[in-house]
Structure 1
Amino acid sequence: MSIYKQFPVADLNKNHLQKVQSLEKELRQELGENIVLIAYDEENRQEA
């Protein structure tokens, strides 16, 4: 099963996407590591 079916990407508006990206940047600076946050749509998630 495709990873995209198991964890479908959340449909975020521009404002919410910017908030996620801002938090990623903040965490990168604090931790000194490459941090990537992933938003998925749990309601449309299909079990493997």
Structure 2
Amino acid sequence: MIDHKQLTSFRRSPSFVEAVYFMTDKMLTIGKFYIELKTQLLFFAVATL
């Protein structure tokens, strides 16, 4: 019973770490895209003036 619980928690831990890495990677990708989009909008605004 205790062994099974330890195994479950051990199995859950890496998946949680993977989820955090995945979330961070996703956020970084969205952040890069957002910065790129803002830069393009800024250039567009400057070009139209």
Larger Rg: 2
RCO (CA 8 Å, sep 6+): is it higher in 1 or 2? 1
TM over 0.5: no
TM-score (norm 2): 0.40
TM-score (norm 1): 0.41
